[in-house]
Chain A
Amino acid sequence: MALLEVKNLGISFGGLRAVNAFDITIEKGQLYGLIGPNGAGKTTIFNLLTGVYQPDEGAVILDGVNITGKKTIDICKAGIARTFQNIRLFGDMPVLDNVKVGLHNHHSYSTLEGILRLPRYYKVEKEMNEKAMELLKVFGLEEFAEYKAENLPYGQQRKLEIARAMATAPKLLLLDEPAAGMNPNETKELMDTIQFVRDHFDMTILLIEHDMKLVSGICEKLTVLNFGEILAQGVTQEVLNNPEVITAYLGS
């Protein structure tokens, strides 16, 4: 059974049909790409999948559970984590704490236990610190643990956002233009990181990207979106050679 099954998803903003009849099936462990020209509705789909918007119609099924129309925090608990096109970190907090916020729902003690510093506080905090440091190490950020997140270099901020998303122990990871604003070297490093995350955590990843090198380099399957509708769907190389896709990107 597929990990994510989306059927006939659609939403309108006023008179604008932003997404129409969107279907996608992602198998467990797949690295899936969602591409399309600007304004095609890619981020809107992410927002629909994570409950930022409520779909007008259609169904989202994650690992056999229907999560259509649920709230963002419930969808996070159900197992979808995401990053954002414009980086959204907790800028004033240390890098380590950014990841610890991601661990929030998995390592728990009450507010009162925290204020009174009861034994459970020390126990859980220790677990959280170890877990968070482990994640930072995976992304090569451990030396920055005490830095304020906003003081990290751009590439590291992107990585931290992925680390924070991974801290919520998701089944499906959504990456919204992870390579935006990166130079070729950083993009190469990011590709390695994404592949590493998939292999190391056995993660399923859906990513939006404009960088064709990255897309053709790591994505196994692709869906191309144009004006809110699916233009092409299938194995990466076939899709990229599809004349319609080339027209949509380059014009006729």
Chain B
Amino acid sequence: MKKLSKTTKNNLITYGMVILAYIIVQLLVSTGHVSSLVQGLLVPFCTYVIVAVALNLTVGILGELSLGHAGFMCVGAFSSAVFSLAFKEALPSGLRFFLALLIGAAAAALIGFLVGIPVLRLKGDYLAIVTLAFGEIIKNIINALYLGVDSNGLHFTMKDALSLNMEEDGMVLIKGAQGVTGTPNDSNFTIGVILILVTLFIVLNFINSRTGRAVMSIRDNRIAAESVGINVTKYKLIAFTVSASLAGVAGVLYAHNLSTLNALPKNFGYNMSIMILVFVVLGGIGNIRGSIIAAVLLTLLPEVLRGLSDYRMLIYSIVLIAMMIFNWSPNAIFFRKRLGQRFVGSKRAKKEA
């Protein structure tokens, strides 16, 4: 007889929760209980969940604050959108999206690796601010970039479409601030949920492996980790690269849900990075399941409150503050524990103590 360990059980609950949510949403959609507005939000939900889980790997497991994850998302989105656009006719949609995913993840991983080399030498606040700067640099470069393809290969410039100097048959893929237009709409809610499950599989298995333990040991005590022979730089870079690459996956999903992709401050700027960080902090640093729930709730909330028009963002902020206090204030934690004990009974409380 094999008893499931506590972590395995916890992980299975997380997977189960996602699958259950998927089934419920599908049922609601098929019975017509979901407004078209919310239906349009289903893929963005998946995007935010994936990127929140990815960021939690950096913030919760590696223990470093990154404010640049929107930048990695941006890299994943644009590299994959360009690929899909260029091979729009040449490849069947399934294969094309699969390859786009790999390209988006690899591109984001590469940029994550390159950014990680200097950034991971810093600590805490300094690291956060430098990642913020890198995120903005990535967004702004892509915003100014023109990329085209013709029989001679790829051309790029930062000036305008004409200075690409392409042949007659050339096609402009990225039109500077106008972004990428005509990306095939390859993603849908089902694919999004599958990608969430894949992300969870990668992140949860990563955490519960030799590599994950090495990363967490660095988070808990760098000097002790070094003293038992852990290569600090290597494991920090591995965790950061995996995290960036998964943010890239979220970007791929995002890009293939829109016909026009721009690198706006709204979707890839630091507002976005901070929003993702809010998901992670609210859901619990290092708590993967919490990130998922927080990402869904906080994306849904503004839509639910839409009827209140002008007061919407005010209420959103108040709810945010209230939830933070409820989740993290020591008094609130104590109150929750007492409440929990009264409901569940003293037996379980004893076990937890």
Known: A92-B216, A109-B210; 18 extra A-B contacts, CB below 8 A, are A76-B226, A76-B227, A88-B221, A88-B223, A89-B221, A89-B224, A90-B217, A90-B221, A93-B220, A97-B213, A97-B216, A101-B214, A102-B228, A111-B209, A111-B238, A114-B209, A114-B210, A128-B210
CB of A100 closer than 8 Å to a CB of B: yes
Task: Give A residues with C-beta under 8 Å from B.
Answer: 50, 52, 72-73, 76-77, 81-82, 84, 88-93, 97-98, 100-102, 104-105, 107-109, 111, 114-117, 121, 124-125, 128, 146, 164-165, 167-168
CB-CB under 8 A from B271, the residues of chain A are: none
Q: Which of A52, A102, A114, A146 contacts B212 (CB 8 A)?
A: A114
A82 close to B202 (CB less than 8 A): no
Q: Which of B219, B221, B224, B229 contacts A104 (CB 8 A)?
A: B229
- Interchain CA distance A128-B224 in the complex, whole Å: 19
**Can you list 18 pairs linking A and B with CB atoms under 8 Å apart?**
A73-B226, A76-B228, A77-B229, A88-B223, A90-B220, A92-B216, A92-B219, A97-B216, A100-B213, A101-B230, A105-B229, A111-B209, A111-B211, A114-B210, A114-B211, A116-B205, A164-B228, A167-B228
B230 close to A104 (CB less than 8 A): yes
A101 close to B221 (CB less than 8 A): no
Task: Give B residues with C-beta under 8 Å from A.
Answer: 6, 201-202, 205-206, 209-214, 216-217, 219-221, 223-231, 238, 286
How many cross-chain pairs have Cβ atoms below 8 Å apart between A and B? 94
CB-CB under 8 A from A146, the residues of chain B are: 6
- Interchain CA distance A125-B230 in the complex, whole Å: 17
- Interchain CA distance A115-B198 in the complex, whole Å: 11
CB-CB under 8 A from A81, the residues of chain B are: 227-228
Who on chain A is nearest to B7 by CB?
A94
B228 close to A101 (CB less than 8 A): yes
A104 close to B227 (CB less than 8 A): no
**Provided the pairs A77-B229, A89-B220 are in contact, do residues A104 and B213 lie with their beta carbons within 8 angstroms?**
yes
- Interchain CA distance A134-B283 in the complex, whole Å: 37
Who on chain A is nearest to B229 by CB?
A76
Who on chain A is nearest to B221 by CB?
A88
CB distance from A196 to the nearest CB of B (A): 21
Q: Which of A50, A93, A121, A167 contacts B213 (CB 8 A)?
A: A93
Who on chain B is nearest to A106 by CB?
B229
CB-CB under 8 A from A109, the residues of chain B are: 209-210
CB distance from A120 to the nearest CB of B (A): 11
CB-CB under 8 A from B206, the residues of chain A are: 111, 114-115
CB-CB under 8 A from A125, the residues of chain B are: 210
- Interchain CA distance A109-B214 in the complex, whole Å: 12
A115 close to B209 (CB less than 8 A): yes
